[in-house]
């Protein structure tokens, strides 16, 4: 079962970036961004202008500012007929790409044919001041504009500030960048770095108790009533009432997911089932969620009666009928004691309950430095050549971060650092790399996924900086491929070691999940709804974190059937059982005296443990302790990463991958679907056989005392009576010693035929002969 190590191309690589963490140089220690490499930028903040001279025939001007450094040129928006405009816009020029010694700032008048120059200001780069946070921002100053000859013009001043800084500057996220000079004004918002917060999610529990005085349209029959609840895109219904009556009872819970702010009301309708696809609405109730009681524990909330309004259609218009009011009895609350799952529990990044009053204090800080990527593949074609506009997204807890987009580069350098509070060490941070498909303002494209990395915090040593290059592995219908590498720096700082160790004794999820648990089916359905709400809300941000990005980060399709994943999980089970199998083989060798010296030592140890049974548990725990110390030498020094061999991605059959990427419902032709269905039936047949064999063994145990086979039960009961008498009069140590010596007997005293107890057990009847 031991798999060979995966290829070097897909392996994790340790790196040594030039970052401040661990360095002793003074300039690095003064930088708050110590997990990323410092990137120098020339910043120019254009604030406003005043008293600009008129240039048009109308006696006004349409001013804008052009900031030029060598071949790079940044432009503000223009104002029509305004002599005192305000821009407050920042331009950032990368020092690595500076090819000039002078920064030129032009104030121009927008014209139809040729823009007129109003004035300019020149800055010698050698005289530009340097600023390093946490220094206060540089105060902008007023500068008199000059003409082309360098003479001051009569009127017109520009307020601006120019300084040298790093990416730690507050102006960096919203600045126009020289490396994105080709991006138009419509696409600038789509390339900036942003921090997003997931909406606060609640479970809405609606306990439908009963209804009274329902009025069906057909008075000759008693209604078969059920209650249907709708909240946004979610629709749930109770079972149909067991008794046909106008006063039905259910006492059934409906649970929905809702996000703050509560935009949509809860709509409940009582409906009468008239036929297979025909229902009549007997009454409707619209309940806004803002005043609904918020519950922190499992104590029942107060019940309320709500009127059911009946709507009738008269003359083509829907009108409200209020002649006779039916009522519905409900218990509604917002459950704040649960954690609303919006990602898989296997790699969850947050397990806190919804209600902030129930949060425990944080145990540490997680810092992530997104340094760079290398070897990215071209993701789209532009002007006849492949190109990639890459950005990173990191998700931990409710906080999502998005780096800026590096335009047209296969080796982007972001060097951006982010921080999260940690409330539980057994959580996972997810980092994804994507290609921006909306650079030029287009709305039709999608952001393509390049790859993803997961890091479990509990596998990290505290206060250690991990700098590694992670492979970006993309699974495609053609197979697994490496789309590049992303270089990250990670540090987990623990504020209190005692609190963190104490967390390991707490349940993983909040108390309500155990006191008032939800079913597996409910959790799956609610998780899917929560994912849809989160992806919809974040896609409405500005700039949007697109739906396809959020769904990839949350693994929306992880529950779909995959032959490859099923094989991988089977071999994971076999890997877990391999240690037990190895122990069984070793014990078999002991029993068969393959090594006489070892077998004799085991005999001596066994006799000592039988004579001194109080040594058994100390021996077991001491053995585990020594094994753990021995394994410490080979502990992993790197965080885990995506493993192609463990995932069976490198040896998957093309048809299996094609099936994995198929839509749901399928879009394949009927002959392909038939072949896959037959294959699935053959696999299910094997599983069915194994399950049947397990059931047979269990039923044989039950038949020992069930008298289904009277002779077998008589023999077993006789054996039990004799065993009870013998065990009562014989010391337990003597019995254990005899049984142990019998099991460890020499092969000369063994038979190749099965033992009598095993033969007896295999002859016991099972219910398999009663199966159709």
Q: Summarize the chain as % helix, strand, coil (round to 5).
A: 30, 30, 40
Q: Region 127-142: what's the mean pLDDT? A: 84
In the predicted model, what is the mean pLDDT of residues 594-614?
88
* SS3 state at 113: coil
On the question of pLDDT at 316 being above 60, the answer is: no
Look at residue 330 and tell me whether its pLDDT is greater than 90. Answer: yes
Q: Do domains 200-313+322-335 and 358-554 have the same CATH topology?
A: yes
Given the candidates 3.30.530.20, 2.60.40.150, 3.90.550.10, 3.10.20.740, the CATH classification of the domain at 40-192 is 2.60.40.150
Q: What is the per-residue pLDDT across 349-360, written as a single tens digit (0 to 9) for each? A: 999 999 999 999
pLDDT band at 25 (very low <50, low <70, confident <90, very high): very low
What's the burial of 730, exposed, middle or buried (CB within 10 Å: 0-12/13-18/19+)? exposed
Among left, alpha and beta (phi > 0; psi -120 to 50; other), residue 738 is alpha
Measured in degrees and rounded to the nearest 5, phi and psi for residue 59 equal 85, 20
Contacts made by residues 580-583, CB under 8 angstroms, sequence distance 24+: none
Residue boundaries of the structural domains of the chain = 40-192, 200-313+322-335, 358-554, 563-770
- pLDDT, position 30: 42
- Using CA atoms, how far apart are residues 245 and 225, in angstroms rounded to an integer? 8
Q: Inter-axis angle of helices 732-743 and 710-729, to 10 degrees?
A: 120
Higher-pLDDT residue of 469 and 114 is 469
| Homologous superfamily of the 200-313+322-335 domain (CATH) | C2 domain (2.60.40.150)
Model confidence pLDDT, tens digit, residues 389-405: 899 999 999 999 999 88
Distance CA 193, CA 300 (A): 45
pLDDT tens-digit series, residues 401-458: 999 888 888 999 999 999 999 999 999 999 999 998 888 655 557 889 999 999 999 9
- What is the rounded average pLDDT for all residues in the chain? 86
How far apart are the C-alpha atoms of 83 and 51, rounded to whole Å?
Answer: 6
Per-residue pLDDT of 219-274, as tens digits, reads 888 888 999 999 988 999 999 988 888 889 999 999 999 999 898 999 999 988 87
Averaged over 592-617, what is the pLDDT?
88
The residue among 375, 429, 441, 434 whose CA lies nearest residue 404 is: 434
**Contact criterion met (CB below 8 Å) for 568 and 447:** no
Q: Quick check: 279 pLDDT over 70? A: yes
Query: Which is nearest to 161 in space by CA: 178, 177, 139, 183?
Result: 139
- Give the H or E element holding residue 632: helix 616-632
299 CB-side CA count, 13 A: 6
pLDDT tens-digit profile of 337-380? 999 999 888 889 999 999 999 999 999 999 999 999 999 998 88
Range with the lowest mean pLDDT among 262-271, 326-335, 568-577, 643-652? 643-652
Per-residue pLDDT band for 26 (boundaries 50, 70, 90) equals: very low
| Residue with the two structure tokens 């601006």 | 160
Residues 54-82, mean pLDDT to the nearest whole number: 83
Write down the pLDDT at residue 736.
Answer: 86
Residue 663 has a pLDDT of: 80
Quick count: other Cβ atoms within 10 Å of Cβ 659? 22
Neighbours of 399 (CB within 10 A): 17
- Please spell the DSSP secondary structure of 32-85, one letter per residue: S--SS---EEEEEEEEEEESPPP-STTS---EEEEEEETTEEEE----SS-SS-
What share of the chain has pLDDT > 70, as a percent?
A: 94
Backbone angles phi, psi at 572, to 5 degrees: -65, -40
19: helix, strand or coil: coil
Is the pTM higher than 0.95? The answer reads: no
Structural tokens at position 668: 């394949």
Q: Is 35 left (phi over 0), alpha (psi -120 to 50) or beta?
A: alpha
The reported pLDDT for the residue numbered 435 is 92
Give pLDDT tens digits for 536-564: 999 998 888 999 999 999 988 777 788 88
- The model's confidence at residue 44, banded by pLDDT at 50, 70 and 90, is very high
Residue 239: closest CA among 525, 307, 249 = 249
Looking at domain 358-554, its CATH superfamily turns out to be C2 domain (2.60.40.150)
């Amino acid at each position: 079962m031991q798999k060979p190590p995966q290829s070097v191309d897909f392996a994790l690589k340790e790196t040594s970036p030039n970052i401040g963490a661990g360095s002793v140089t003074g300039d690095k220690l003064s930088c708050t961004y110590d997990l990323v490499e410092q990137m120098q930028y020339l910043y120019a903040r254009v604030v406003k202008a005043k008293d600009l001279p008129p240039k048009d025939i109308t006696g006004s001007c349409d001013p804008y500012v052009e900031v030029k450094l060598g071949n790079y040129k940044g432009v503000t928006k223009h104002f029509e007929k305004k002599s005192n405009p305000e821009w407050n816009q920042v331009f950032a020029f990368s020092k690595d790409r500076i090819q000039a010694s002078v920064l030129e700032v032009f104030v121009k008048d927008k014209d139809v044919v040729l823009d007129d120059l109003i004035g300019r200001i020149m800055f010698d780069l050698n005289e530009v001041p340097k600023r390093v946070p946490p220094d206060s921002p540089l105060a902008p100053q007023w500068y008199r504009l000059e003409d082309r000859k360098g003479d001051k013009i009569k009127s017109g001043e520009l307020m601006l500030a120019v300084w040298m800084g790093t990416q730690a500057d507050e102006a960096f996220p919203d600045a126009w960048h020289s490396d994105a000079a080709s991006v138009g004004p419509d696409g600038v918002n789509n390339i900036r770095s942003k921090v997003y917060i997931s909406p606060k999610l609640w479970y809405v529990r609606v306990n439908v108790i009963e209804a009274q005085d329902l009025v069906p349209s057909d008075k000759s029959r008693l209604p078969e009533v059920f209650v249907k609840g709708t909240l946004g895109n979610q629709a749930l219904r109770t079972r149909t009432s067991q008794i046909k009556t106008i006063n039905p009872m259910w006492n059934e819970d409906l649970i929905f997911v809702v996000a703050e702010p509560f935009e949509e009301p809860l709509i409940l309708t009582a409906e009468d089932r008239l036929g297979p696809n025909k229902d009549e609405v007997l009454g409707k109730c619209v309940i806004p969620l803002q005043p609904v009681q918020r519950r922190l524990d499992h104590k029942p909330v107060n019940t309320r009666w709500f009127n059911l309004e009946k709507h009738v259609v008269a003359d083509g218009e829907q009108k409200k009928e209020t002649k006779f009011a039916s009522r519905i009895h409900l218990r509604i609350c917002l459950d704040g004691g649960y954690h609303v799952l919006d990602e898989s529990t296997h790699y969850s990044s947050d397990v806190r309950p919804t209600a902030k009053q129930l949060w425990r204090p944080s145990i540490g800080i997680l810092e992530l430095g997104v340094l760079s990527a290398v070897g990215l593949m071209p993701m789209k074609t532009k002007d006849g050549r492949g190109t990639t506009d890459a950005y990173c997204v990191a998700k931990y807890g409710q906080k999502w971060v998005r780096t800026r987009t590096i335009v047209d580069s296969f080796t982007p350098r972001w060097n951006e650092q982010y921080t999260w509070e940690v409330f539980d060490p057994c959580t996972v941070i997810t980092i994804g790399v994507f290609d921006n498909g909306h650079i030029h303002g287009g709305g039709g494209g999608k952001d393509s996924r390049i790859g993803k990395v997961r890091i479990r915090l509990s596998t990290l040593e505290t206060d250690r900086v991990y700098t590694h290059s992670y492979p970006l592995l993309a699974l495609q219908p053609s197979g697994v491929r490496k789309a590049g590498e992303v270089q990250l720096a990670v540090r987990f700082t623990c504020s209190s070691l005692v609190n963190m160790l104490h967390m390991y004794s707490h349940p993983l999820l909040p108390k309500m999940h155990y006191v008032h648990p939800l079913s597996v089916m409910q959790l799956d359905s609610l998780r899917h709804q929560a994912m849809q709400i989160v992806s919809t809300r974040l896609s409405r941000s500005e700039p949007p974190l697109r739906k396809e990005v959020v769904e990839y980060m949350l693994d929306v399709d992880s529950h779909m059937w995959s032959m490859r994943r099923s094989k991988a999980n089977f071999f994971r089970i076999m890997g877990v059982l391999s240690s037990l199998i190895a122990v069984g083989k070793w014990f078999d060798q002991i029993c068969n005296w393959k090594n006489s010296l070892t077998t004799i030592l085991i005999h001596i140890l066994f006799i000592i443990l039988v004579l001194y049974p109080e040594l058994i548990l100390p021996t077991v725990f001491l053995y585990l302790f020594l094994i753990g110390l021995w394994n410490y030498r080979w502990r992993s020094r790197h965080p885990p990463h995506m493993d192609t061999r463990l995932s069976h991605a490198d040896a998957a059959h093309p048809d299996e991958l094609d099936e994995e990427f198929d839509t749901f419902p399928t879009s394949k032709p009927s002959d392909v679907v038939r072949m896959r269905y037959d294959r699935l039936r053959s696999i299910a047949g094997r599983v069915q056989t194994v399950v049947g064999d397990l059931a047979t063994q269990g039923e044989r145990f039950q038949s020992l005392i069930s008298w289904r086979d009277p002779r077998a039960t008589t023999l077993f009961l006789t054996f039990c009576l004799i065993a009870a008498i013998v065990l009562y009069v014989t010391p337990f140590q003597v019995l254990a010693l005899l049984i142990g010596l019998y099991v460890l007997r020499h092969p000369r005293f063994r038979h190749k035929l099965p033992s009598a107890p095993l033969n007896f057990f295999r002859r016991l009847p099972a219910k398999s002969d009663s199966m159709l």
